[in-house]
Chain A
Amino acid sequence: QLQLQESGPGLVKPSETLSLTCTVSGGSISSSNYYWGWIRQPPGKGLEWIGTIYYSGSTYYNPSLKSRVTLSVDTSKNQFSLKVSSVTAADTAVYYCARLGAVAAAALWYWGQGTLVTVSS
């Protein structure tokens, strides 16, 4: 059974960089043909797609966040990561990692449990 687990600091100061890692178990990022992504959900609000990455390093970003977001993948550790720079309180959210389908634009089949990141001084 595929499992995803987000990890990273729960508190980030304004103007700093938010960094999260998603560790995949029960399957290999590099041996599958699936895409991997990040989604966030501000407290009490809806879902926002942040971006998607393929094991080769190809990336797709939400234009609303593109200037501040970087996705990367480490196949040796079976992990992929998210960085959001210059954070503000508006970046406070539960951040989820997920496995998509076999194309970049796809449904989100498996989700991590999510991790709350609060932006505050």
Chain B
Amino acid sequence: DIQMTQSPSSLSASVGDRVTITCRASQGISNSLAWYQQKPGKAPKLLLYAASRLESGVPSRFSGSGSGTDYTLTISSLQPEDFATYYCQQYYTTPLTFGGGTKVEIK
């Protein structure tokens, strides 16, 4: 199985801050990476796929980058509605695997 390691596991930030979350795969995944946002009591929502492609309707302050084993989700200017938990997921191969999550909290 491909292990996905996310860091940090949590962070505190203020509205307007630039936030970066990292996801590292245990082997190369050729940009087969998705990012999700999950709010309490809700299902995850797809934000980006293919490492850097924004899902329709997702604000442009969200961006993704990376290659090989290392990937990054960046929120350029944190908004109140962005406080949530974020997960990465590799789909290079089955079993599909997720990172452990990053909880973004209000500072």
A residues whose Cβ falls under 8 Å from a Cβ of B: 37, 46-49, 52, 60, 62-64, 96, 101, 104-109, 111-114
Among A48, A49, A52, A112, the most chain B Cβ lie within 10 Å of the Cβ of A49
Q: How many residues of B contact A (CB 8 A)?
A: 24
**Cβ-defined contact, A49 with B43, below 8 A:** no
The 6 sampled A-B contact pairs (Cβ below 8 Å) are: A47-B44, A47-B87, A62-B95, A64-B95, A108-B36, A111-B44
Contact of B46 among A47, A107, A114 (CB under 8 A): A107
Binding site for A on B (CB under 8 A): 1, 32, 34, 36, 42-46, 49, 55, 87, 89, 91-101
Which of B1, B89, B93, B95 is the one whose CB lies under 8 Å from A107? B89
Q: Tell me, in angstroms, the Cα distance from A111 to B47 when the chains sit together.
A: 13
